[in-house]
Amino acid sequence: MGRRPHTLPYATPAERAAARERLAAHLDSGRLIAYPTETVYGLGGLPRSDGIARLAALKARPAEKPFLLLARGADDLAGLAATPAARALAASFWPGPLTIVLDDPHGRWPAGVRATDGGVAVRVSPDPAVAAILEAASGPITSSSANRPGEAPARRVDDLEWVADAGEDVLVLDGGERQEAAPSTVVDCRGRPRIVRPGAVDEASIRGVLEPVEPLFDARAARGPEEGTVGTSFNLLFVCTGNTCRSPMAEGIARALLAERGWGHVEVSSAGVAAAVGAPASADAVDVAQSHGVDLGDHRARQLSRERVGWADLVLAMAPGHLDAVAHLGGADRAELVTAFLAGGGAAPAVPDPIGQGRPVYEATFATLREAISAVLDRLAPILSP
């Protein structure tokens, strides 16, 4: 065996803190590190062309086989399109041994981590050493197993001497021996989710998370690259007849409940299938909403349109006839009665139109909508909780 690689102790919080400055400078220079994860030692660097080229050469990796990314979370993944299924899986299994493949519709990530079909594989590791590395890097790093092609995974620093023999200036972070563990499960979420590689998270667990969200939300993934980008809004549209009573109250209630939950990334609007465009909310709707702290004074009626339906990730209608109108405009795959989330799988009733029936009926309608919308947000929580 030839020269040994440069090694830094990295097993304790104090050791990781002491290594931070040197580690950051090493990565910023485009060089590579070998580092401990919760499974085996990994090999990688910053997701830049210089570091990716070094890693590909060291691993003899063909260009069409990209490296995955280790990230701190969604904030590190600008530009990647996250379907609701991907959000649900991430909320359930990150940090943990689950790799999720997302689409990079605008080509923001470099070749070498972005596959030729636009997919980027990402994971959030629970290992404190990985977390410290990502903080030092101020973002994600590339990841590959730190072994020669065809050899067993590296579980201790002694397995990493080959990186120095390869002539690369690789900094080895010594986190001690890694215990044998299953690799991460890989799920491609760029459409209907599919397991690409079985691993530590079993299929039954993945299906258990996806079953509640697939029927209503998976269609979002097929609606174009502008939809579902990590960090952008989830769009919620309420629909009634004239957009002066039920749907404006629903819109106002949703805004209030979203503010309570701190979900600033969820956008809300409303429209009517037969709206008198520009008409204010009805006086009773305004008064009842105001008594509950919801201001409808600035509301003006909007007509339901194909553009508004296309904007929405989820359309919640007051009655079956409104669902028919939404379906006619291309939104059948992501529309439901607002009361369906209260029905528990049973028949969902319409929300009756209170127009002209006096304040007590408006009060009852407001209460029904508030209960239903709270149930909607509870159902969306695995996907949309920040």
Q: Which residues are catalytic?
A: 240, 246, 353
CA-closest candidate to residue 245, choices 340, 313, 318: 318
- Token duo for residue 216: 């209503």
Contact predicate 244/281, CB 8 Å: yes
SS3 at position 378: helix
Task: Give start and end residues of each alpha helix (H) in 270-358.
Answer: 283-291, 306-311, 320-328, 340-343
Pairing state of beta strands 119-123 and 141-145? unpaired
In the chain, DSSP finds a helix count (H) and a strand count (E) of 13, 14
Distance between CA atoms of residues 43 and 54, nearest Å:
11
SS3 at position 223: coil
Query: Length of the chain in residues, anyone?
Result: 386
Degrees, nearest 5: CA angle 46-58-155: 85
Contact predicate 165/90, CB 8 Å: no
Contact predicate 229/260, CB 8 Å: no
Alpha-carbon separation of residue 73 from 91, 188, 215 (angstroms): 10, 17, 26
Distance between CA atoms of residues 155 and 41, nearest Å:
6
Sign of CA dihedral 338, 344, 349, 351: negative
**Which residue is listed with tokens 């060089």?**
31
Q: Please tell me what DSSP assigns to residue 282.
A: P
- Beta-strand ranges (E) seen in the chain are 6-9, 33-36, 41-44, 68-70, 98-103, 119-123, 141-145, 171-174, 185-188, 194-197, 234-240, 266-272, 314-317, 335-337
